[in-house]
Structure 1
Amino acid sequence: MPQSYIKRILDARVYDVARETPVHEASLMSARLDNRVWLKREDLQPVFSFKLRGAYNKMHQLSAEERQRGVVAASAGNHAQGLAMAAQRMAVKATIVMPRTTPQIKVDAVRNWGAKVVLHGDSFEEAATRAQELVESKGLVYVHPFDDPDVIAGQGTVGMEIVRQRQEPLHAIFVPVGGGGLLAGVAAYIRYVWPNTRIIGVEPEDAACLKLALERGRRDRLAEVGLFAEGCAVAQIGKEPFRVIRDTVDEVITATTDEMCAAIKDIFEDTRSIAEPAGALALAGLKKYVERSGVQGQDLLAIVSGANTNFDRLRYISERTEIGEQREAVISVTIPERKGSFRAFCSALGRRNITEFNYRYAGPERALVFVGLSITPGPDFQELLTELRDDGYECEDLTSNEMAKLHIRHMVGGRAPAEVDNEVVYRVEFPERPGALLKFLSGLGQNWNISMFHYRNHGAAYGRILVGIQVPRNERGQFRQVLDEVGFRYWEESDNVAYRLYLGRTPG
């Protein structure tokens, strides 16, 4: 069945607008992983993403009558830019429906290519619904970002170029996955030409729609989708891509936000270019594959799929990079409240570099310190925890604690006074747009008192807050119902160890 795509890919019309992007060796990453690591540089396309290929190929297949009607698409940005450029080149009117959470750099880029932008909804699904309404009301032709054979064939030219450029078969190719169009096109071609090359899809851990479909043997919809890698934030794998993928792809790997951030840094260090989170996703999967399999001396290729990210997101990415590389750990340690105890604690840490240190007086007998440490990947960190505990220190590993990394590290020093009772703590995500925070606060009403609030803008599509609210026990079911009605994602953190140590009421 994948063979049916070979002629489509060979005949795909993409080079009127797209360029054949190079394959670069990532020399620093190769040395670190003891393999030859190659990067397929789709971030070097005119719209800084591979999406131009599929969009233009689809546009070229349209009839003159369809082009006259104009085209419409729903996209978080990269497909939108590709279609907008293709439409401008072919003198076709284009309307792009984009989620309101789309980074401004992508919205501006689409407009600069001459397309009309309609901002609607908070997710790709909501934008797609609006786009279909425009198809019905205005007769526009819908160009799907991934679930279309002509789009898949256009993306498949990436695989065709890899074969031509590398000539000898690779051990494995790593491809980012959103709706599956790129993976389907690349996999169809590579599997036919290099049948023994491993083809591995890589998804964000919080948007793993392909992994879900493969586990269940059918396409299904994720209840929630994380938006850090907005280019891959899709709730359900495409129907046609899944038909191809299930017969051609060896496995799918998921990557966390921290791992994507680390991969962005890796790409920068080898190329001096900055990939977007979805663009670095494949390399994050490649690194996990090497760590898991122990493979050495092999040729491994990751597709760098895009470089459309807001500059102010780099602050957040930089914060998370060291943890993603397993080069930083975050711990909470209880030390005696007496002279010389801090010096003794630093001595116990040895020559490890302290990247962050937060202290809060916790009473006459003890003090709590929130510490970031540079570590060496491997057993080094666990050995440190064992040594500290053997020395009598109480330690909590907060390295994987989202609340600690997003909020507590910026709030240390704010214990609740004795009069704050019945405090419950929630972590909430909301679309980063004007009025969203007001919607959250208005939804809570005036029945409960806010006792703690922390918000920090990370330049991302979603804002994150930590809120403490005084809610009597007999009203907590009612309070959760209100949160459900507001409609934002939330997690209760009242029992989170980081909250209890640094922000909760002083014991006793």
Structure 2
Amino acid sequence: MMQRYIRKILEAQVYDVAIETPLEEARGLSERTGNHVLLKREDEQPVYSFKIRGAYNRMAQLTPEERARGVITASAGNHAQGVANAARFLGVKATIVMPKTTPDVKVTNVRRLGGKAVLHGDAFDDARVYAEKLMEEKGLTYIPPYDDPDVIAGQGTVAMEMLRQHTGKIDAIFVPVGGGGLIAGIAAYVKYLRPETKVIGVESNESACLALAMEKGRRAILPQVGIFADGVAVAQIGKYTWEICKDHVDEVITVSVDEICAAVKDIFDDTRSVTEPAGALAVAGLKKYVAREKCEGKTLIAINSGANVNFDRLRHIAERSELGEKREMLIAARIPERPGAFKEFCKVLGNRNITEFNYRYSDSDSAIVFAGVQIRKNNDGRDELLAELNEALDEVTDLTDNEMAKLHIRYMVGGHKPSSCGDEAIYRFEFPERPGALMKFLNTLGGRWNISMFHYRNHGAAFGRVLVGMEVPKKERAEVRKYLNELGYTWFDETENEAYQLFLG
């Protein structure tokens, strides 16, 4: 099997539309990690993503009859642009089905390249099912985004270039993983020629389908997929890609949203380019690997896979990057309600910079403070600050890893529920962000239970977030859960969340 893929990679037709991208040293990352870090700049492709390679190589194999009928695909955006660009070059009509949550920059570019963009569903799998339906109805040829030998071979040309560009020892290559087309192509080529080089997959912990397959020893479907890193938001690893990955990928590292955001900033600092979240996965995984292994002097390559990001999303990325870099800590602390207390609190913090400070009068004895504090870039600084605060104050809570605190509480600290409010239940929702989505959510929520609190903030992302408080007697909680399950939105019961209990309960 491996020899067949090597031949297909060597014969792949990609350079009619793709370019050989540079392999650049990341000086800042190299200095900070103590290793030789190289970035494969697939964000510099004509469509700002490696996906153009596999899409064109697959379409170059079409028969004249297939070209005449036209092609169709489903994509969260980058493969869509690759297909549209390849279709324009080959003179083929292309229909691309994209989730409604696809960033506008990707939809616009597909149309600019001459593709017919059809928006359907809230996630990739919804778009794929609809694309397959249209394929049957109209006799179109489906161009898979990752699970196809010719697509895998096209992506494998990335590895062919890297081994030619860097002839010295390579200790590890970090590859972002969605459906697995890129890592399968790279693993096939690298492990055949340099079996000693580690090939390490990196996934968002919201869509870790390869990690799940590795754990179970077989392909499996994730029950839920987060779409912050929309370019890799896939529920199941591909069939063809799994056959390669299960034997030739050394390990899979999963990273958080905060770690991805920090990696976007790292890449910007070294290259002055802005990758999309999926495009920064490899760097995030590389940093996590170095921290875990405490390695130095190694040659490590990370693949910057794409740069198709909505400008509005950068606000959220910037807000979370400091947390992902372990440079900021969020805390809640109880201080006396008297003049000079805040000054004493600041004195405990020493020369650390306060990045955020919120509190609300609670009673005549004490106040709850919500603060963001800059710390040294390691967990020791976090532990050190906690120890100092616990020594000086009666009650301190670390909220740095509390998702509800980071998404909502920091923006809405304003006091506890009034005594007149009945039993309050708190629910956090996520729903696809598109015009009218919030109004639909409000209409669907209905009016059976009184809403006692509501918080919504647009992060410029593909999904919206709402925090809702409702007056619900405890005996009706099971009925509420049944009702919420029928709504069809992703939801979380946050009634017992410590952040809620401290600031709003």
Normalising by structure 2, report the TM-score: 0.99
Kept in 2: contact 1:209–1:234 (CA 8 A): yes
1:43-80 deviation line (CA, Å, top 9, x unaligned): 00000000000000000011111111100000010000
CA contact (8 A) 2:334 2:393 kept: no
Query: In the aligned structure 1, how far is the partner of 2:310 from the partner of 2:415?
Result: 32
d(CA) in 1 for partners of 2:246 and 2:362? 56
Alpha-carbon contact 1:2-1:248 (below 8 Å) kept: no
Cα distance in 1 for partners of 2:175, 2:143 equals: 22
Give SS of 1:3's match: helix
1:259 is matched with which residue?
259
Paired residue for 2:7? Answer: 7
CA contact (8 A) 1:163 1:169 kept: no
2:486 is matched by which residue type in structure 1? E
Offset, 1:425 = 0.4
2:172 matched residue in structure 1: 172
**Contact kept in structure 2, 1:337 and 1:366, CA below 8 Å:** yes
* Letter in structure 1 aligned against 2:12: A
- Give me the whole-angstrom Cα distance separating, in 1, the residues matched to 2:85 and 2:429: 37
The answer on whether the counterparts of 1:423 and 1:469 sit within 8 Å (CA) in structure 2 is: yes
Distance 2:415 2:18 in 1: 54
Separation in 2 of the partners of 1:395 and 1:82? 51
Residue 40 of structure 1 aligns to a residue whose secondary structure is strand
Q: Distance in 1 between matches of 2:379 and 2:444?
A: 46
| Residue 417 of structure 1 pairs with residue 418 of structure 2 | yes
Q: Post-superposition shift, 1:380? A: 1.5
Are positions 1:19 and 2:8 aligned together? no
Alignment partners' CA distance in 1, 2:392 and 2:108: 57
Distance 1:467 1:375 in 2: 32
8 A Cα contact 2:333 2:393, kept in partner:
no
What residue number does 1:431 align with?
432
Equivalent position of 1:463 in the other structure: 464
User: SS at 1:426's partner residue?
Assistant: strand
Q: Give 2:46's aligned amino acid.
A: P
Structure 2 partner of 1:281: 281
Match of 1:79 in 2: 79
**1:208 aligned onto 2:208:** yes
Matched with 1:364 is 364
Structure-2 separation of matches of 1:420 and 1:378: 40
Check conservation: 1:432, 1:463, Cα contact below 8 A: yes
CA contact (8 A) 2:430 2:465 kept: yes
* Matched residue type, 1:191: K
SS at match of 2:492: strand
Structure 1's consecutive aligned runs of 4 or more residues displaced over 4 angstroms after TM superposition are: none
Distance (whole Å) between structure 2 residues aligned to residue 90 and residue 444 of structure 1? 49
Q: Is the 8 A contact 2:361 2:415 kept in 1?
A: no
| Alignment partner, residue 304 of structure 2 | 304
Which one-letter code corresponds to 1:322 in the other structure? E
Q: Which amino acid aligns with 1:361?
A: Y
Which residue is equivalent to 2:343? 343
For 1:106-505, list aligned pairs within 5 A.
Answer: 106-376=106-376, 377-504=378-505
The one-letter code sitting in structure 1 at the alignment partner of 2:267 is: I
Give the number of aligned pairs: 504
After superposition, what is the alpha-carbon deviation per residue over 1:373-425, rounded to whole angstroms, capped at 9, x for unaligned? Answer: 11111311112111211123310000000100000000011422111111100
SS in 2 for 1:4: helix
RMSD, aligned CA: 0.8
Does the CA contact (< 8 Å) of 1:439 and 1:486 recur in 2?
no
Counterpart contact for 1:443–1:482, Cα < 8 Å: no
- Percent of pairs with identical residues: 61
Which amino acid is the alignment partner of residue 103 of structure 1?
Answer: P
Distance 1:218 1:26 in 2: 36
Alignment partners' CA distance in 2, 1:476 and 1:47: 49
Give secondary structure in 1 for the equivalent of 2:309: coil
Structure 2 residue identity aligned to 1:416 = K
231-240 vs 410-419, which moves further: 410-419
CA distance in 1, matches of 2:14, 2:387: 57
Deviation at 1:4, TM superposition (A): 1.9
Deviation at 1:440, TM superposition (A): 2.3
CA distance in 1, matches of 2:34, 2:4: 37
CA–CA distance in structure 2, aligned partners of residues 367 and 37 of structure 1? 47
For residues 410-469 of structure 1, the C-alpha deviation after alignment (integer angstroms, 9 at most, x for no partner) is 001142211111110011000001232233222222211111111000111110011101
1:321-347: CA deviation from partner (whole Å, max 9, x where unpaired): 000001100000000111111111100
> Which residue in 2 is equivalent to 1:60?
60
Partner Cα distance (1:263, 1:298) in 2: 19
Secondary structure of 1:379's aligned partner: helix
Q: Distance in 2 between matches of 1:54 and 1:193?
A: 21
Q: Which runs of 5+ in 1 are unaligned?
A: none
Contact 2:175–2:302, Cα closer than 8 Å, also in 1: yes
Query: 2:379 aligns to what SS in structure 1?
Result: coil
- Between 227-236 and 488-497, the greater mean CA deviation after superposition: 488-497
Give the distance between the partners of 2:310 and 2:462, measured in 1 at CA: 10
Which amino acid in structure 1 is aligned with residue 437 of structure 2?
A
User: CA–CA distance in 1 between the matches of 2:196 and 2:222?
Assistant: 32
Amino acid at match of 1:6: I
List per-residue Cα deviations over 1:172-219 (Å, max 9, x = no partner): 000000000000001100111111001000000010000001111110
1:75-126, CA deviations, whole angstroms, 9 ceiling, x for partnerless residues?
0100000000000000000000000000111000000000101100001001
Amino acid at match of 1:225: V
2:46 match: 46
